[in-house]
Amino acid sequence: MATKLEPPTDEQEQAFAESGDYITDVVKENLKLIRHTKGFSLDKLANRCGVSRAMLSQIEQGKSVPTISVLWKIANGLNVPFSELLKEKNQEGIHVLKAENSKVLFSNSKVFASRALFPFLGNRKTEFYELLLKPGGHEVAEAHKTGTTENLVVVSGKLRLRVGEKVVELEPKDSVFFKADVSHEYSNPTDQETLMYLVMDYTDEVG
């Protein structure tokens, strides 16, 4: 029997709304800069990434908060790491990322949330994320850049992971390492939320 999906709580909706403006401001500047640097028109980028010209224009004008899936499509169309669209201006010293200032991105269905746990600055080969998958939730991730790998550990709840044609079941404290340059899917087969931490590694330095 399929598990009925629970709608986001008022607190989750408020947290998304509060982080939305911050995400919008960062993404719109980076998208415009990267697109112009690569010499892509809005029409060309729309054809490359599968996101409509109207949506791209709204994101660049700060009129729309992009979802995780939309950002992944745009990043793939631009042929840049996902984090390039969320990159902040360079700073020096110790970087404290306060929880209230974290960038939280939600899937269209709001059942999947991704929170970046690293500063978007400087050169790096790895990225660190907190992932939340609601009861019965399912998220499809498109293939990342060639050579990208994911190392994921389940903290609480359970995860069913499909990588290509292979499926693995993970419980708390289980971890998995896999090549993420193929399509993969995250599913929560239970009636409890699944909390995970993900380290994404790129072949080349990004940032």
DSSP 127-149: EEEEEEE-TT-EEEE---STT-E
Query: For 141-148, what is the mean pLDDT?
Result: 88
Q: How far, in Å, CA of 195 to CA of 188, rounded?
A: 10
pLDDT of 20 above 60 = no
Q: Give the DSSP H or E segment for 68.
A: helix 68-78
Token duo for residue 55: 């949506």
Which position has the higher pLDDT, 144 or 154? Answer: 154
pTM recorded for the entire structure? 0.59
Q: How far, in Å, CA of 92 to CA of 164, rounded?
A: 40
Query: Within 10 A of 196 (CB to CB), how many other CB atoms are there?
Result: 23
